[in-house]
Structure 1
Amino acid sequence: MSSQLLGPREVRALAADLGIRPTKTLGQNFVIDPNTVRRIVQTAQVGPDDVVVEVGPGLGSLTLALLPVVRRVVAVEIDHVLGARLPITVAERAPTLADRLELVLSDALSVQELPGPAPTALVANLPYNVSVPVLLHLLERFPTLRSALVMVQSEVADRLAAAPGSRVYGVPSVKAQWYAAVSRAGAVGRAVFWPVPNVDSGLVRLDRRDPPATAASRQDVFAVVDAAFAQRRKGLRAALAGWAGSPDAAEQALRAAGIDPLARGESLTVHDFARLAEARPSRPA
């Protein structure tokens, strides 16, 4: 089974038929290169047992590449015009695969449940303006997601995959690494999109793993991560004063966690942040 993929002419014709232009508000840049969507599917390493979540399917370029390979595609689309057209495009270009598509008309950030079998993988060209919040929300909400392969703005890809000590290591890096091992999976040029964006893109692969063993909750760990990077130029004793209640209380927590009070957040691993969250002093009622 196969599907007819969309090229530049087909993408523009579909958009013209619908009377739409991609909008910056929704972070829409449509992929017009069939080789790119084939590459994404191959890099995602998904197969016939996978139930794939695709966020922002748009006109269906990646959807059509996924359908012949996986068991089911659950496409989450916020744009009702695009969402209404997607099943028609699939029926026209991949009629034998149409029953593998499930459309969810929703903002991905508000999705709490998905229809059908539990999803096993996320494969998406994520809207650039909400890529990190969407990724983190889905990883938190759907623990059955064993892997993800997402296309995001290149600098966001660098941040997600950054290691401690890197100048781009920060909140997205730590929070993504709470859920998964994260790595860059390639670069994507601007010319494969319509309209052509002003930035390069990158692929990021995430493979689910257990979070750090800690008595602290995920929310508590993420709170100290946010506090540490809110003033990233400061040492942690100063940066965490508000979080702990005072500079002295922050130093006490840092020493209890085995962390130098003069260190900066960019030097800590997700495991360090988990220990620090455990060591947070009790706040007065």
Structure 2
Amino acid sequence: MNRQKSYKELDGRGCLYLVPTPIGNLEDISYRALKILNEVDWVASEDTRNTQKLLNHFEIKVNQISFHEHNSQQRIPELIAYLQAGQSIAQVSDAGMPSISDPGHDLVQACIVENIRVVSLPGATAGVTALIASGLPSDQFTFVGFLPRKKGEQKAIFEKLMGREETQIIYESPYRVKSTLENMLDVYPETHPVVLCRELTKIHEEYLRGSIRELLDYLSENDIKGECCLLIGGGTEQLAQEQAEQLTLTIKEHVDTLMTEQQLSSKAAIKEVAKIRGLKKQEVYKEYHEI
């Protein structure tokens, strides 16, 4: 067991502060974050050039050291040595909370092993910021982070998420969000609720709330820019059960059921049945029309 008294000095060693930075609007930084950045000996930055702009804006002069996924294993012993010598370090990411989708977790673990204090400051985080304004249930949620890029790997993750009742939060590039939604259609019905948020806290902040199909139709005619947060509606355990029950129906019964319950055209229902059953649309079409 490891017990940490965060605000009690430990043998002259330094402290690792996990300092959140604004996700867009610089006014979102806290007084405490500015105070810590002014007081520490080092700032371990995901991108020193990006962090320097923030430091310059608030007229903070402090030594920086790069710390990112490509050099983390080399840097961690160096940072631990600074901390053991009594110097304090603030770790920051390019935006939002550190240690989420960056190598900060490994540094935290190394500090815990060496009995070095780790103090986390509260602050902006894109996923929760998007969630509470999304309109989707926010009492329970799962943070998924960045998805793998391969279609098969994404589909496997979506198949696991479909049975979850809580809202799911995904980070995605604007260049891949359309293909990600298309991959979702291999698992979810096209009417499933999703919310796409982009440019959080910035002047062009935008929420796109609707179904998977509605968002895809929008993206087919509109280009989007800025980092995106994709939220997937939960409550799909019942959906998974219903789909399992539908597989006991004949193909014709299955198509008719979807047409009635979801008010789909025969064409849309045939496409949905083909997806659910892993069949070609032509096979379902011939079976339904008894060709």
TM (normalized to structure 2)?
0.35
Larger Rg: 2
TM (normalized to structure 1)?
0.36
